[in-house]
A and B are shown apart, each in its own frame.
Chain A
Amino acid sequence: MLAFILRRLFQSLLVMLAVALIAFAMFRFVGDPVNQLVSLDTPQEQVAQIRKSLGLDEPVVVQFARYIYNAVRLEFGVSYQFRLPVISLLGERAPATLELAFMSALFSLLVGIPMGVYTALRRDSWLAKLFQTVSLVGISLPTFLIGILLIYLFSVTLGWLPSFGRGEVVKIGNWWTTGLLTASGWKALILPSITLGLFQMTLIMRLVRAEMLEVLRTDYIKFARARGLKTRAIHFGHALKNTLVPVITIAGLQLGSIIAFAIITETVFQWPGMGLLFLKAVQQVDIPIMAAYLILISFLFVSINLIVDLLYAAVDPRLRATIGAH
């Protein structure tokens, strides 16, 4: 077991190194950091001096090592557009994105799982068919289109909910800001959370439905029925419990993509989060922000993957056996 954990940790480290290499390559070779800092009429000597002060005349390996060293200390350089340290820009916007991601994940689980269970148990009812259709529409409609639709309905036509921004936010501690403590903050969260969570919701619903149907046809369910257990106990005690393992895995793995997909939602709703910052960075080719965002997202995803894998090994005895055999 220990060997397995160590190997997985090592693999995760390798992945992060590969990502850092990509980020470094972008940083170093795509947008020349110096060209962004000087104007056209800056004298050559001064350009050379800046180049030297940034350490850009040293061997690439040394530069890469320094890049990693800085990245570990969360120093990602200075944004070309804002002339501010990237990490403070990202940190300032992180709470908005995390709050949005959390709310939409919550929404997708709380709505998706019951819908999935229902459609699996009452396959032929009209409501199940409606859910199925809605889920197909949810998967087919691109995120930004859902956002536009919601804005048109609830902001432009009905005027119930705001179409952009976070509403009023409250500062907690040094850097965390939250919209969860004000009415306008909650109002502002509703549309973006639904927009961002709808796709995950349909995904979870379809997954729960498929898993439930699969489980319901297994022998131990038949056996439970034969033993005369109550249908309720079979469905929720036996079937749903076994369904939830893959569902929780997928939901965990989807967390990373929720944060990434927040780029779109944040653009539609002008939500002041990391995604909007990243998009502006892409439009302006602001490489330091792009590279930093890449590293942070990857770190998040690799960590989630690692945790899920380790949990699996801890939970599933079959997997443990194969690990031991290696």
Chain B
Amino acid sequence: MTAQTPSSTPVAPSTKPPSLWARILDSDILASFLRSKVTMVAAVIVLLMFIGAAFSPWIAPTNPFDPATVFLSDANIPPAWQAGGDPKFIFGTDDQGRDLYSAILYGLRVSLIVGGLGVALAATIGITLGLLAGYLGGRVDSLIMRIADVQLTFPAILIALLIDGVVRGIFKGANREDTALYVLVISIGLSFWVQYARTIRGSTLVERNKDYVQAARLVGLPAPLIMLRHVLPNVIGPVLVILTINLALAVITEATLSFLGVGLPPTQPSLGTLISIGNRYLFSGDWWIVAFPGLTLAILVLAVNLLGDWLRDALNPRLR
């Protein structure tokens, strides 16, 4: 459904369907993308941030986590354009003398890895359970949807906090630095699956009774095959929007947990950890330690949200 457009649907049955690339070029989605300047700017920002995160070890001027290159004597230097600034450190340094610009690039990388993996886990769980619930119906459906209801009892942040506490209770001796990333990914994955499951279940319920599914069933195809090959492609559309918006939510969740001191440790900081470190120096006037990581986080989330908003409108035929 997603890539289909009014202009490409009335193709005579004998001709070959247009290639994916041709469909993309011809689509309304691309047209609406090129029409919206804000969306294009957001896309460029997101792209730049992804590149910055992916190549941070090569882009960053210093490695902020190499003790050999970090000196405590460089601590709390203001940004380069302020009095007392050092051109070596564009955005200044934090309390341990780490270059903030480099730390932000590395933090962005950690934030995006955790957010991306968390969303991927959430989508996998949610889509699977939603398909099962919608297609099989009956007991399976009510069981899964009940679990979803229970799950909704806990906002994402609460689940993540609980899981974090529980896991730390279990691995009392284990090194927190090794487990922190996995704990976060699991927490985010388990907190955000419900929305996918509900969306997928809703559209699966509609698709289940359509002729092509009945036909596939009559032919004797096994249920898993019908679900994956026939139903899934027809219900996956709305998930794209949720994926985009959830990436922003996941990044926020990770940052929040790190800010609360139960996420990533200061030795392996994400944007949230950097903000939490900077927050301690807010009252002494060293605003840059919190401001630049905060700004980066805000811009990233805003840009991803703008993309999600645009995608939702572009995919909703009623708003055209």
Contact = CB atoms under 8 A, between A and B. Distances in A.
Chain A interface, DSSP helix/strand/loop, else mixed:
helix
Looking at B157, B169, B287, B305, the one whose CB has the most chain A CB atoms below 10 A away is B169
A290 B158 CA distance: 10
B309 A283 contact: no
B256 A143 contact: yes
Nearest to B304: A140
A298 interface: yes
A297 B298 CA distance: 29
A128 interface: no
Contacts of B279: 148
Interface stretch (B45-53, B116-124, B234-242, B258-266): B258-266
A141 B298 contact: yes
Looking at A18, A140, A281, A294, the one whose CB has the most chain B CB atoms below 10 A away is A140
A293 to B, nearest CB: 9
B294 A145 contact: yes
B298 A145 contact: yes
B31 to A, nearest CB: 21
A163 B282 CA distance: 11
Given A285-B165, A297-B158, A302 B153 contact: yes
A144 B157 CA distance: 12
A144 B253 CA distance: 11
Contacts of B155: 256-257, 260-261
A297 B146 CA distance: 18
B297 interface: yes
A264 interface: yes
A15 B150 CA distance: 6
A294 B153 CA distance: 10
Interface string B279-305: 100110101001000100110011001
Contacts of A18: 150
B211 to A, nearest CB: 25
B184 interface: no
B150 A145 contact: no
Interface string B294-320: 100110011001100100000000000
A244 interface: no
A287 interface: yes
Contacts of A141: 298, 301
Given A136-B309, A142-B255, A145-B298, A305 B149 contact: yes
A278 interface: yes
Interface in A14-36: 14-15, 18-19, 26, 30-31
Contact of A287 (B158, B169, B172): B169
Contacts of A30: 166, 169-170
A42 B282 CA distance: 45
Contacts of B154: 260, 294, 297-298, 301
Nearest to A155: B283
Contacts of B157: 260-261, 263-264
A136 B153 CA distance: 26
A4 interface: no
A166 B68 CA distance: 45
A152 to B, nearest CB: 6
A137 interface: yes
Contacts of A140: 248, 298, 301-302, 305
Interface residues of A, number: 44
Interface in A95-137: 136-137
B162 A148 contact: no
Contact of A148 (B165, B170, B290): B290
Contacts of A148: 275, 279, 282, 290, 294
Given A142-B255, A260-B158, A287-B169, A15 B301 contact: no
Contacts of B275: 144-145, 148
B165 A301 contact: no
A156 B262 CA distance: 27
A143 B168 CA distance: 25
A140 B146 CA distance: 30
A216 interface: no
Interface in B121-171: 146, 149-150, 152-155, 157-158, 161-162, 164-166, 168-170
A257 B253 CA distance: 14
A11 B148 CA distance: 13
Contacts of B262: 279, 282-283
Given A30-B166, A142-B255, A14 B146 contact: yes
B197 interface: no
Given A136-B309, A152-B282, A264-B260, A281 B165 contact: yes
A151 interface: yes
A145 B301 CA distance: 12
A177 interface: no
Nearest to A214: B318
Interface of A: 11, 14-15, 18-19, 26, 30-31, 136-137, 139-145, 148-149, 151-152, 156, 163, 256-257, 260-261, 263-264, 267, 278-279, 281-283, 285, 287, 290, 294, 297-298, 301-302, 305
30 contacts: A19-B150, A26-B166, A30-B166, A31-B169, A136-B302, A136-B306, A140-B298, A140-B302, A141-B298, A142-B255, A142-B297, A142-B298, A144-B256, A148-B294, A156-B283, A163-B283, A256-B153, A260-B155, A261-B157, A264-B259, A264-B260, A267-B259, A279-B161, A282-B164, A282-B165, A285-B165, A297-B154, A297-B158, A301-B152, A305-B149
Given A140-B302, A282-B262, A283-B261, 8 more contacts: A15-B153, A26-B166, A156-B282, A263-B260, A279-B262, A282-B162, A282-B165, A287-B165
The 3 closest A-B pairs by CB, nearest first: A30-B169, A140-B302, A282-B165
